[in-house]
Amino acid sequence: MIRRSLMLSVHRLGSLPYFYRASAGWARGLAIAGSVLVVYALYQALVVVPPDYQQGDVYRIIYIHVPSAWLSLLGYTTMAVAGAIALVWRLKIAEIYLVAAAPVGASFTMLALVTGALWGEPTWGAWWVWDARLTSELILLFLYIGVIALNGAIESPRHAARVCALLSIVGVLDVPVIHYSVVWWTTLHQGATVRPLGGTTMPGEMLLPLLISALGFTLLFAWLTLSRMRVELLWRERRSRWVARMLATDE
C-alpha cells in the first residue's frame, strides 16, 4: 500500500499540469517560510549574537557566506541527480528542474565568492588568493555558467536538457573536491565549522542562527527554483491543450 502511494505521488509529480497547479501553493509557502527564517536569523546574527573573540564583528558575514556556499554545492548536486533521471527516464520535469536551478545555483555561488572575498580581505589581507577551496568554488561557478550557456545555445529544449545533463553529471565531481579541499591540501581557508558527525567549534548562541539561516536560504533557493520551473514549464508547453484551457479559464 505504501509503495503504491509512493508510486502514485511520483507519477503525479511527473504530470506537468498537476505539477504546475500544485506548485503555486508550494512556492508561496516556501517564499514566506524562507523569508521569515532568514530575517530572524540575520537579526539574531547582527544584533543579538556577540562579536567573536578573535575576528570581532567581521565573522558575522558567515551567516550569509556559509548558507550560500552550502547551496552552491547542494544546487549542483541536485542538478546532477536530475540530469541522471532525465537521461535514464526522460522525465520532462527533471529536465525543467535542471535548467531552472542553474541560474539560481550560479547566483548563490557568486554570493558565496563575493562574501568570501569580503571576509578574506580583513582576515587574510587579500580579496582573493588562488586557494584550493576558492579556486574549486570558482570552477563550480563556471560549470553553472556552462549549463546556462548550453541551454541557451541549443534550440531544441529537450536536446539542450540532455547536453546540460551530461555536463552536470561530469561537473558534479567538483563538489567533493570543494568539500574536502581543506583536508586534501594546505589552504588558507578554515576547515568546516559545523560537522554533522564531529561536533562543532561554535558556541550554541552563534550556531543556532547559522542553522536557521541555512534552512531559510535553502527554502528561498527552493522557492526561486520552483518559480523558474513554472515559467520554464509554461514556455515549453505553451502550445499544449492544457495550457490553452488553463489560460481560457483564467480569462
Give the pLDDT confidence of 118-147 residue by residue, as tens digits: 998 888 888 888 888 999 999 999 999 999
124-132 own/partner pairs: CB under 8 Å, 24+ apart: 124/188, 129/188, 131/187, 131/188, 131/189, 132/181, 132/182, 132/184, 132/185, 132/187, 132/189
CA dist 148 and 100 (Å) reads 9
Residue 249 CA to residue 228 CA, distance in Å, equals 23
| The pLDDT value given to residue 6 | 43
Interacting residues of 94 by C-beta distance below 8 A, sequence separation 6+: 82, 83, 85, 86
Q: What is d(CA 165, CA 159) in angstroms, rounded to the nearest whole number?
A: 10
Helix 62-89 to helix 132-153 angle, to the nearest 10 degrees? 40
Q: pLDDT at position 204, please? A: 81
Q: What confidence tens digit (pLDDT) does each residue in 147-161 have? A: 999 999 999 999 999
Q: pTM to 2 decimals?
A: 0.92
- Domains of the chain by residue range: 62-193+219-250
| CB of 213 closer than 8 Å to CB of 42 | yes
Beta bridge partners of 56: 52
- Which DSSP state fits 173? T
CA distance linking residue 188 with residue 196, whole number of Å:
23
Question: 167-187 in b/e burial notation, b at 16+ Cβ within 10 A?
Answer: bbbebbebbebbeebbeeeeb
Measured distance CA(214)–CA(102) in Å, rounded: 19
Q: Which segments in the chain show pLDDT lower than 70?
A: 1-14, 186, 188-201, 250-251
- Sequence-separated (6 or more) residues with CB below 8 Å from residue 212: 37, 40, 41, 44
Helix ranges (H only) for 154-203 are 157-171, 174-184
What Rg, from alpha-carbon coordinates, does the chain have? 20
Which cell goes with 153? 545555445
The 3-state DSSP class for residue 195 equals: strand
User: What is the Cα–Cα distance from 60 to 80, expressed in whole angstroms?
Assistant: 32
**Coil/strand/helix, residue 56:** strand
Angle of the 132-153 helix axis to the 174-184 helix axis, nearest 10: 170
